[in-house]
A and B are shown apart, each in its own frame.
Chain A
Amino acid sequence: GAVVSQHPSRVICKSGTSVKIECRSLDFQATTMFWYRQFPKQSLMLMATSNEGSKATYEQGVEKDKFLINHASLTLSTLTVTSAHPEDSSFYICSARGAPPYYEQYFGPGTRLTVT
């Protein structure tokens, strides 16, 4: 159980375009979803937290107008990188958590974004 999928797994886009990444919880209802960014050989950096039907809460330093997050249902959250630039190239990982008392986060397989 507790499977989280992400789509696409890899995406290459041109500078200035927008890219949408989907995160789905396949076998449970995710009241909360998280988006992380991971730089090469580094740990995960939390970008934002989203609750179904609410606006996302962004971490300090993360541009909310650049990284648009929508948590439209209990099984789907999307991250849209708007007007992408090469410095946005990274590995983006989502995670999902059900309602308490489920404390752990279940992670998706990640999306490798390359902006050329």
Chain B
Amino acid sequence: AQSVTQLGSHVSVSEGALVLLRCNYSSSVPPYLFWYVQYPNQGLQLLLKYTTGATLVKGINGFEAEFKKSETSFHLTKPSAHMSDAAEYFCAVSDGRNFNKFYFGSGTKLNVKP
């Protein structure tokens, strides 16, 4: 079975600082990994995804994530935070055989201080 752990329900950074949101997963098969962002009272928007190939994936809005199999991690980073990045971020995993099942982490709320 798959599961996702997001360390830190709240992360606060200053504008311009590095953003690091942590995601660890467990999966019995090669995982497909996703990061989504949710703004208040809105649905989820796909930031980036890893399926196969290059382990460093780049997404929208300057975000990127690196799949590290040995660490079972898929941390999300952005070099310089912007006020508009303040939102909730969800990591999700699905297995390569059953794309219907997305397992979401509990979410990390990012606060960006001016």
Contact = CB atoms under 8 A, between A and B. Distances in A.
Nearest to B9: A41
From A95, A100, A105, name the one whose CB has the most chain B CB atoms within 10 angstroms: A105
Interface string B27-49: 00000101010000111111001
A55 to B, nearest CB: 14
A4 B94 CA distance: 21
A104 B42 contact: no
A106 B51 CA distance: 16
Contacts, number: 49
Contact of B43 (A43, A103, A107): A107
B43 A109 contact: yes
Contacts of A110: 41-43
B49 A104 contact: yes
Contacts of A6: 43
Nearest to A101: B51
Interface in B59-109: 90, 94, 99-102, 104-107
B104 to A, nearest CB: 5
A18 to B, nearest CB: 23
B99 A107 contact: no
19 contacts: A4-B43, A42-B107, A43-B106, A44-B90, A46-B101, A46-B102, A49-B100, A57-B100, A93-B44, A95-B43, A97-B99, A103-B51, A104-B46, A104-B49, A105-B102, A106-B46, A107-B45, A109-B43, A110-B41
Interface of B: 32, 34, 36, 41-46, 49, 51, 90, 94, 99-102, 104-107
Q: Which 5 A-B pairs have the closest CB atoms?
A: A107-B43, A107-B44, A109-B43, A43-B104, A110-B43
